[in-house]
Structure 1
Amino acid sequence: MMEKTAITISVNGPVVGAKNMTGFKVREMVMVGEKKLLGEVISLDGDTGTIQVYEETEGLKSGENVYSTGNPLSLTLGPGMIGNVFDGIQRPLEAIEKISGGFIAEGIGLLSLDKEKLWDVTILVSEDDYVESGEIYATVQETSLIVHKLLIPPGVSGNLKDVKPSGQYTIDEVVATVSCSDRMYPLKLHQVWPVREARPVKERMAIDRLLITGQRVLDIFFPIAKGGTAALPGGFGTGKTMTQHQLAKWSDADIIVYIGCGERGNEITEVLEDFPKLIDPRSGKPLMERTILIANTSNMPVAAREASIYTGITMAEYFRDMGYHVAIMADSTSRWAEALREISGRLEEMPAEEGYPAYLPSRLAQFYERAGFVRSLSGVEGSVTIIGAVSPPGGDFSEPVTENTKRFVNAFLALDRKLAYARHYPAIGYLTSYSGYSKSLRNWYYENVSEDVLEIREKMLFILHEEEKLNSIVQLVGEDVLPDDQRLTLEIAKVIKRGFLQQNAMHKDDTFVPILKQYEMLKVIYHLHTRALAAVKANLPLSEIRNPEIFDEVIKMKYTVPNEDLSLIDDLHYRIDSYFDELATRYASITEVI
């Protein structure tokens, strides 16, 4: 029941001030003015409050009313979320288009899930059963890929009464009642949860499983763990959105939540056009059958952009509690931080570095700490993995959002402008990126790949770093002055970059590479380096060691070796050994003659 309060409003963009707000609470959701614009109380000082409005405030007049809802900004969590497209505060854009056309009408209200659609519900409980928080009491086949498990809300436990049979129900119908100690709690097909409050879990578990992406530079060199956090910083045109699209399509997460937070309208349009056409490679079904899209472009209200991040993470936690592994793609957290800066400026708060609010680090920490691998209240395992794109102006990684993000994520996947302009994708810089998950995933690699995969990875990274040092010398005095072993390092680094790190998203075998093929490919490159280095130490001529045919075969193996049949990898090992054995024999006989 909304309470009506007469106030005085002074308008300042998306933030309005109101007097006579005694009885309101901070973070309470309110309706502002006669148009019932959605807002949130963000500060109270005596009887004067400041309201963050999630809609355009043009036309709002002094003296209009504010209506209290008595609740914080909350989401309706239930069937109908998967495959839907929402704005930053969970209003379904397709439903809004039917009501008001191509623009979101002012005062349209807090629409959320379809309350008229009938769902086929399978009831899993019986009369007088005792249930606790987190238990599954019913299921709905939301899409052909996702079973929506209806959970007893946190803080609710007791005996069930008035349990209805399995059948078709809307999300607002009561299918059972929980007899708590002091009240009767109705169970509907949805629950409401405040977006700024993390959902409770039974236990936070160790992060020790790889989020398999099929991207070699990630799965082997800079891994992301399930339940982990990763930042994807890069300047304009370096491939942030493209990389996130690849991760959304190919990662082994069960559900994808894609948050278009403050990006340009044309980029979000591309996402909205492309995602419904994508086919999930694991099932052959449309990718949207396990995806939620949140679209909040740069020309939408700034306050809603700030809320969109919390909307996405709350949805992810809800599905995590069912036992799903969820991956969030936030594009981009820089625009979210800019929304914080704009709102802070309108509140006349003391700015910190580059005008961002002093609480920017704590807000970033609060967002990323909601990731994790957990045991839910019902005892099932689930995870939320957060992959946040960062858009530093001019590609300057020293700016506040990138620097503070680096403090709270364990995988820093820095996109390199030079690689992007050279059409080397994913353009993840192998010199500036890092992952803190390599050690925690060691046992996973041992059990699922090989015991020497991380050792080979370290040696390949060492070669890449050595190449960077040698390039500075080559630019000054040329390659000819280098000894043969260092010239070989330059050649092997080219093979690593072109044959392993560079990946073609348009090629059927290269867009996604199974983890075992990744390891076998890396092992071939390592074997080539080992045999070539031994030949250099045996004083064989480098012109013979750098055989173009052998090196090109190794580079092209990503195309020539099918993902389903790795037997050709053994042929490459044999070809390398045969060539260097023949080379050693030939020059040994020449030496004997001399």
Structure 2
Amino acid sequence: MTAKSQIYAISGPIIKIAGPTEFSMQEMVYVGDDQLIGEIIGITDEETTIQVYEETAGLTPGEWVYGTDLPMKVQLGPGLLNNIYDGIERPLKEIEKQSGYFIKRGVNVKSLNTDKKWPIKMKVSVGEHVRGGSIIAEVDETAAITHKVMVPPNTIGEVIEVVPDGDYSIEDPLIKIKQFDGTITPIKAYQEWPIRTPRPVAERYESNIPLLTGQRIIDSVFPIAKGGTAAIPGGFGTGKTTMQHQIAKYADADIIVYIGCGERGNEMTEVLEDFSKLIDPRTNAPLMERTVLIANTSNMPVAAREASIYTGLTIAEYYRDMGYDVAIMADSTSRWAEALRELSGRLEEMPAEEGFPAYLASRIATFYERAGFMHNLNNSEGSVSIIGAVSPQGGDFSEPVTQNTKRFVRCFWGLDSNLAHSRHYPAVSWMNSYSQYVNDLSDWYNKNISEDFVANRAEMVALLHEEDQLMEVVKLIGSDVLPDHQKLVLQTAKVLRLGFLQQSSFHNIDAAVPMKKQAKMLEVILYLHHRAKSLVQWGMPMTYIAKSPIFNHVINMKFDVENDDDEKFQEYFDEIDAFYEKAMEENG
């Protein structure tokens, strides 16, 4: 610890020191006799402002604040996976051992286990030149993930000493580097990084590979790319958390970082219990083996809630630098914005719309900007995809957090309370949602799925939008007045809604569906539509066509066809052809 000064004012998590100080902006400090963790957020020649990440009850003016000359940072190394942290990267399991079920103020727990020995395999030798991002060793962090020990950014030089393969703690030096200025720098199995500073990369790529989730409403209708951004806004009970669970479990991401930001304690408990029970479909091992959970409930200090977002981002970027695809689930960014609002009020800043600070938009932009598909410093490729849940009060999508989020994300999966109440899950509204990645991903779909897929998707969306327009007429004067070709649109849209868009998260086949099966399902539904449309054009009444059991059979296709049984779809094409030929014979 370096400089120290005395507290003169306390307002919740905001602490002020009078007069000029030796502290620097964004410096981490220890506040009061209990050594509460804080961060410098404002400096003038008259006062210094600190936000404290712990409960300040009992703190009094006159207590000392101690500086560290270091920014607010996190430890990054083996042991992050299969762990649960609070908003400032304190492991909750270790805190429980020290202080029981309630977190005591000033509890000092190391983020990573410094005593555990890891089996480390060295990847460099004496005489090699290394630089920031270079992989010097590997360790099997879990059964699912190999942790790659890297040289910290902004470090470059010649390896002059290397330990042999063996078991080492994260505090043991693995190599020593002689930098160009002659400095000898030991490199350990972990590094530290400021949470508010993005980790450097060599290049940002275009996002043109989809992040497949197994959810048809996402993969086929509103896709997200690896390194992309998405928002899931929805009112209470519309299924935001369940949707994030499904994505976390089935998405083709290597690492999951789940940030519980300001959610109710009982909901966060449910998340922690659910994640500990989830089985990874890839390895049949617990999903936690490739997951980091950050839990910051609504009764925890709001300053730590604000920091939890950046803590999760930094951890995600660290694994991205190893060449992994990382998906961040932030639940919810609305609670984070509310923390910003409360801190802004304590700082007596001029409020903007609905009391949120004027810099709300820039903070949201900074958060989502750290997503991307990157060429890393070590020439590997990795991505950070951010999926943020938004909880607008009363389901009002016109409120500031939702509107500002829409400006900076390219996927918007708006949840509809009417769909949720009718038990249509995922309750993503196909009228209010969008994805701007469709054109970017079209080449990938053409090469890996089908050359017809993008056109089929466009036709499906057009049918659903036409149905929405027709339903306005039906509500006024009924469906009997519609011509047969429009009745067919309603019939096909029903098949799309029930047989394609609706998906059961508890069904062993339908919970997650591979992309090729999704494309085949859509192809079958549209083939049925085209055949029925031909019959209508020949003058066949829609009342006759709608009586056929083929429509219900196609709806149940999602349960009847195994995920790896592509040949089964030929039976549906043959059955549709048989239906068409029979109808032509009977009405010829």
Letter in 2 for 1:205: Y
Letter in 2 for 1:164: V
In the other structure, the counterpart of 1:353 is: 353
Which stretch shifts more, 468-477 or 300-309? 468-477
Contact 1:34 1:65 (C-alpha < 8 Å) held by counterparts: yes
CA shift at 1:350, angstroms?
0.4
In the other structure, the counterpart of 2:193 is: 193
In the other structure, the counterpart of 1:591 is: none
In the other structure, the counterpart of 1:99 is: 98
- Structure 1, residues 198-224: CA drift from partner, whole Å, max 9, x if none? 000011111110101010111010001
SS at match of 2:199: coil
| 1:221 equivalenced with 2:239 (yes/no) | no
CA shift at 1:26, angstroms?
1.0
Letter in 1 for 2:422: A
Contact 1:7 1:20 (C-alpha < 8 Å) held by counterparts: no
- Structure 1, residues 120-172: CA drift from partner, whole Å, max 9, x if none? 11111112221111110011110011100001111101011232111111111
CA shift at 1:536, angstroms?
0.7
Contact 1:4 1:65 (C-alpha < 8 Å) held by counterparts: no
- Structure 1, residues 538-576: CA drift from partner, whole Å, max 9, x if none? 111212111341110000000111112122211111111
SS at match of 1:266: helix
Whole-Å Cα distance in 2 between the matches of residues 133 and 174 of structure 1? Answer: 16
Contact 1:38 1:110 (C-alpha < 8 Å) held by counterparts: no
Kindly report structure 1 stretches of 4+ aligned residues shifted beyond 4 Å: none
In the other structure, the counterpart of 2:61 is: 62
In the other structure, the counterpart of 2:442 is: 442
CA shift at 1:109, angstroms?
2.6
Aligned Cα root-mean-square deviation (Å):
0.9
Whole-Å Cα distance in 2 between the matches of residues 124 and 461 of structure 1? Answer: 51
| 1:154 equivalenced with 2:150 (yes/no) | no
In the other structure, the counterpart of 1:114 is: 113
Contact 2:233 2:413 (C-alpha < 8 Å) held by counterparts: yes
Letter in 2 for 1:252: D
In the other structure, the counterpart of 2:566 is: 566
Whole-Å Cα distance in 1 between the matches of residues 8 and 65 of structure 2? Answer: 9
In the other structure, the counterpart of 2:27 is: 28
In the other structure, the counterpart of 1:530 is: 530
Whole-Å Cα distance in 1 between the matches of residues 377 and 516 of structure 2? Answer: 35
In the other structure, the counterpart of 1:134 is: 133
- Structure 1, residues 95-137: CA drift from partner, whole Å, max 9, x if none? 0000000011111136311111111111111122211111100
Letter in 2 for 1:403: Q
Which stretch shifts more, 250-259 or 154-163? 154-163
Contact 1:37 1:109 (C-alpha < 8 Å) held by counterparts: no
CA shift at 1:190, angstroms?
0.5
SS at match of 2:462: helix
Whole-Å Cα distance in 2 between the matches of residues 6 and 375 of structure 1? Answer: 44
In the other structure, the counterpart of 1:458 is: 458
In the other structure, the counterpart of 1:519 is: 519
Contact 2:152 2:191 (C-alpha < 8 Å) held by counterparts: yes
Letter in 2 for 1:178: I
Contact 2:91 2:109 (C-alpha < 8 Å) held by counterparts: no
SS at match of 1:479: coil
| 1:292 equivalenced with 2:292 (yes/no) | yes
- Structure 1, residues 238-257: CA drift from partner, whole Å, max 9, x if none? 00000000000000000000
In the other structure, the counterpart of 1:484 is: 484
| 1:180 equivalenced with 2:161 (yes/no) | no
Which stretch shifts more, 434-443 or 122-131? 122-131
Whole-Å Cα distance in 1 between the matches of residues 190 and 220 of structure 2? Answer: 40
In the other structure, the counterpart of 2:412 is: 412
Which stretch shifts more, 575-584 or 28-37? 575-584
Whole-Å Cα distance in 1 between the matches of residues 545 and 230 of structure 2? Answer: 40
Write out aligned runs for 1:371-410 (5 A): 371-410=371-410
Letter in 1 for 2:124: V
In the other structure, the counterpart of 1:19 is: 18
CA shift at 1:47, angstroms?
4.5
SS at match of 1:439: helix
Whole-Å Cα distance in 2 between the matches of residues 359 and 8 of structure 1? Answer: 27
Whole-Å Cα distance in 2 between the matches of residues 28 and 544 of structure 1? Answer: 75
Contact 1:337 1:356 (C-alpha < 8 Å) held by counterparts: yes
TM-score, reference length from structure 1: 0.98
Q: State the identity as a percent.
A: 55
In the other structure, the counterpart of 1:253 is: 253
Letter in 2 for 1:466: E
Write out aligned runs for 1:267-306 (5 A): 267-306=267-306
Whole-Å Cα distance in 1 between the matches of residues 255 and 496 of structure 2? Answer: 33
Contact 2:95 2:109 (C-alpha < 8 Å) held by counterparts: no
Contact 1:209 1:226 (C-alpha < 8 Å) held by counterparts: yes
SS at match of 1:25: coil
Q: Structure 2: which 5+ runs fail to align?
A: none
Contact 1:6 1:20 (C-alpha < 8 Å) held by counterparts: no
Contact 1:195 1:314 (C-alpha < 8 Å) held by counterparts: yes
Whole-Å Cα distance in 1 between the matches of residues 229 and 127 of structure 2? Answer: 42
CA shift at 1:20, angstroms?
4.0
Contact 2:29 2:68 (C-alpha < 8 Å) held by counterparts: yes
Write out aligned runs for 1:419-434 (5 A): 419-434=419-434
In the other structure, the counterpart of 2:38 is: 39
- Structure 1, residues 403-436: CA drift from partner, whole Å, max 9, x if none? 0000000000000111111111111000000000
In the other structure, the counterpart of 2:575 is: 575
Letter in 2 for 1:437: Y
In the other structure, the counterpart of 1:343 is: 343
SS at match of 1:485: helix
Whole-Å Cα distance in 1 between the matches of residues 556 and 239 of structure 2? Answer: 23
Contact 2:3 2:23 (C-alpha < 8 Å) held by counterparts: no
Whole-Å Cα distance in 2 between the matches of residues 465 and 67 of structure 1? Answer: 61
Which stretch shifts more, 244-253 or 472-481? 472-481
In the other structure, the counterpart of 2:170 is: 171
Which stretch shifts more, 13-22 or 247-256? 13-22
Contact 1:85 1:294 (C-alpha < 8 Å) held by counterparts: yes
CA shift at 1:10, angstroms?
1.2
Which stretch shifts more, 55-64 or 117-126? 117-126
Letter in 1 for 2:394: G
Contact 1:424 1:502 (C-alpha < 8 Å) held by counterparts: yes
Letter in 2 for 1:158: G
Letter in 2 for 1:89: I
Whole-Å Cα distance in 2 between the matches of residues 576 and 523 of structure 1? Answer: 12
SS at match of 1:230: strand
TM-score, reference length from structure 2: 0.99
In the other structure, the counterpart of 1:592 is: none
Whole-Å Cα distance in 1 between the matches of residues 22 and 347 of structure 2? Answer: 21
Whole-Å Cα distance in 2 between the matches of residues 587 and 524 of structure 1? Answer: 24
SS at match of 2:67: strand
In the other structure, the counterpart of 2:474 is: 474
In the other structure, the counterpart of 1:74 is: 73
Contact 2:174 2:187 (C-alpha < 8 Å) held by counterparts: yes
CA shift at 1:70, angstroms?
0.8
